[in-house]
Amino acid sequence: MFSGLLVLRAFPRDVKILVTTRVLRSFGSAILSVIFSIYLSKLGASSVAIGLTFTGVALFSAFRSLLEGMMADRYGRKPVLLFTSGLIVVGGVIMALTNNISVLMVTAVIFGVGVRYTPAEQAMLTEKVSSDERTTAFSVNAFLGTIGSIFGSFSAVLPETFQSIGFSEIESYKPIFMIFAVIGVVTFLFFTLLNETMSRSSTTVENVDDPDKDERMILIKWSGVIALDIVGGSFTGKFLSYWYYLRFGVGLGQIGTLFGLTRFLTLFSYVLGLKMAHRVGTIRATVISRLPVVVGTILTPLMPSYMLVAILRLFMSLFSSIDVPLRQSYLMGVIKSRSRASAVGVVTVVRGVTSAGIPSLTGYFFEYVSIDLPFYFASAFRLASASLMYFLFKDIKPEGEKPRM
C-alpha cells in the first residue's frame, strides 16, 4: 500500500528507532485527544476551563519546543529526546493519581498532553537520511505514526470497557493515563540506543546560532503562514470530540471509532501527498490539499446527523494530513545551517503563541454563543494560510527538490 515502507527497511537503525517511538507516542496522544476534554467535563470542568487548559498547553508547549530546539542544536539531539520522554512518564503518573481538576489542568500544560514530536526528532531524522530521501522519510514517519494513532483512537473505548467490568466512571479513565506513562518509559529506553548526530565540535555557539539572512527571512515568513493554519485548526481541533458529544449525544465508543477510521484514511493521504510532492512540488501539493479541508470544515456544522458528519469527516481525512510531513520536510530542506532544531522550535513557538487564545475563545463560543461558529473561523484562517503559502513560497525550492515549471 505504501512503497515508502520498503525504503524504511534500507534506512539506518536510528531512523527505525525514531519511527518506532513516533508510533508509540502517537498511540498515547490519540487516546488522550479523544478522552481528555470529556474526562475533565465529567469531573465538573466547564467548557471555558477546558478551553483555558488547551490554551495553556499550546503556550507552554510552544515555548518548551523553542527551548528544546535551542538545546538540541547546542548540546545534541539525544539528551533532549531523553528529557521529553521523561516528561511523558511524569505527566502520565500524575494524571493517573489525581481527580483534582486544577492539578490535571496544570499537569496537562506542563507535560504537554498530545505532544507527538519534538524539534530534536525532526532534526535527527533529517540528519540520518540523504536530502533525496528526506520527504520519503518524513512521510513514512507520519504514515506509521498514524497507524499508531488509529489504534489509539479505537482504544478510547477502554474506559467504557473498564466500566463494564466494575470500574466507576471516573476511575475507568485512570488506566489510560498509566498506559501513557508506560509509553514514556519504553520511548526513553529506545532513545538510549540512538547515536548522536551532533559532534561536540559542531555544538558551539558560533556554529549553532548563525543562520544566514535568507534563512531568517524564510523562517519569519514560514512561521507566519503556519501560524495562520494552526489558528484555524485550534478553533476546532481539541474540541472536536466534545462537539460530537454535545451536538449528537454520541458516546466514547462511537467517537473513538470515527477518530480511528479517519486516521486510517489519513494513511492514504500520505501516499497521495508523497506522489503529489514528486509531481508538482512540496508547496503546490500542500496548498492543493488544504482546499477540500476548508470546504469540509464549512460544511461540518451544517450536517443534520452524526452519520452524515462522520461521512464528511472521513472524506476530509483523505486530505487533512497530506501537508504534515511535507511541511516538516520542506522546512528542514530550506534551512541548511546547523540550526534545524532551533528553526523547528521557532516555528512552534510562533504558531503556539498565535493560537494560544483560540481554545479559550472556542470554549466561550461553546458556552455562550454557538458550538458551530468555530468551524467558520477555522475555514477562514486555513484558506488565508494556503493562499499566502502559495504566493510566498512557490518559487523557493528545498534541498533535493528539482525546479518545476
Q: State the pLDDT at residue 192.
A: 92
Instruction: Report the largest interatomic distance among the alpha carbons of the chain, rounded to a whole angstrom.
Output: 64
Query: Is 90 exceeded by the pLDDT of residue 246?
Result: no
Query: Is 50 exceeded by the pLDDT of residue 325?
Result: yes
The alpha-carbon radius of gyration of the chain (Å, integer) is 20
pTM above 0.75, yes or no: no
Query: Is 70 exceeded by the pLDDT of residue 116?
Result: no
Question: Cα separation of 247 and 252, whole Å?
Answer: 14
Each domain of the chain, given as residue ranges in start order, spans 14-193+208-393
Q: State the pLDDT at residue 402.
A: 61
Mean pLDDT, residues 368-389: 89
Mean pLDDT, residues 226-233: 84
Q: State the pLDDT at residue 289.
A: 86
pLDDT tens digit sequence for 33-90:
778 888 888 898 887 888 788 778 877 877 787 788 788 878 888 888 898 888 889 9
Query: Is 70 exceeded by the pLDDT of residue 306?
Result: yes
Q: State the pLDDT at residue 149.
A: 80
> What is the residue type of 150?
I
Q: State the pLDDT at residue 205.
A: 41
pLDDT tens digit sequence for 187-212:
999 999 988 776 654 444 444 444 56
CB atoms inside a 10 Å sphere around CB 164: 9
Q: Cell numbers at residue 189, please?
A: 529506553
For residue 87, give the nearest of 58, 112, 118, 53 by alpha carbon. 112
pLDDT tens digit sequence for 103-113:
998 888 887 66
For residue 132, give the nearest of 306, 311, 274 by alpha carbon. 274
Mean pLDDT, residues 243-251: 84
Contacts of 98 (CB under 8 A, 6+ apart): 104, 107
Question: Cα separation of 160 and 358, whole Å?
Answer: 30
Q: State the pLDDT at residue 182.
A: 93
Mean pLDDT, residues 368-379: 88
CATH architecture of the domain covering 14-193+208-393: Up-down Bundle (1.20)
Return the percentage of the chain with pLDDT > 90, whole number: 9
What is residue 365's DSSP assignment? I
Mean pLDDT, residues 340-344: 76
Its sign, for the CA torsion 98, 240, 311, 284, is negative
Query: Is 60 exceeded by the pLDDT of residue 98?
Result: yes
Q: Distances in Å between the alpha carbon of 204 and those of 72, 198, 220, 265? A: 12, 10, 24, 44
Query: Is 50 exceeded by the pLDDT of residue 367?
Result: yes
Mean pLDDT of the chain: 81
Q: State the pLDDT at residue 206.
A: 42
pLDDT tens digit sequence for 130-172:
777 777 788 788 788 878 887 887 788 888 889 888 888 888 9
Contacts of 405 (CB under 8 A, 6+ apart): none
Contacts of 102 (CB under 8 A, 6+ apart): none
Query: Is 60 exceeded by the pLDDT of residue 235?
Result: yes
